[in-house]
Structure 1
């Protein structure tokens, strides 16, 4: 059985998804605080992304 070496990734590659999720969350929170209507929909959608991401990661890890 051969051992796999961990691949080297750049800092940008490692932190790209968490930074994108954080930016989307900040935009969603600002939208929730500043208005109604379409901003409510944007905030619900934006704040659901981190929850769905965690659920997807937990499911993928079990497989």
Structure 2
């Protein structure tokens, strides 16, 4: 039997959002450790991104 297999998504598509969340978290941590003022605001925004992504995922999956 010759079965046709569906081709999966490329890795860059699969890991695009997790990589973006990682970069935001890293930027948030570095900005929190390196200065005050506007960097504090940047760190708050960047570190809120993973929390917002988790809340969105839980809400969209009905949990």
**TM-score between the two structures when normalised by the length of structure 2:** 0.85
Q: Where does residue 14 of structure 2 map in the other structure?
A: 14
* Structure 2 unpaired stretches of 5+: 1-5
Would you tell me which structure has more helix in proportion to its own residues? Answer: 1
* Structure 1 unpaired stretches of 5+: 1-5
- Write out per-residue CA displacement over residues 17-48 of structure 1, whole angstroms, 9 at most, x where no aligned residue: 00010011001100000000000000000000
Aligned-partner Cα distance in 2 for 1:24–1:11: 20
Which structure has the larger Rg?
A: 2
Q: How many residues are aligned here? A: 58
Q: Where does residue 60 of structure 2 map in the other structure?
A: 60
**TM-score between the two structures when normalised by the length of structure 1:** 0.85
Change in Cα spacing, 1:31 to 1:57, as seen in structure 2 (3 Å) is same
Aligned-partner Cα distance in 2 for 1:55–1:38: 26
Runs of 4+ in 1 over 2 A off after TM superposition: none
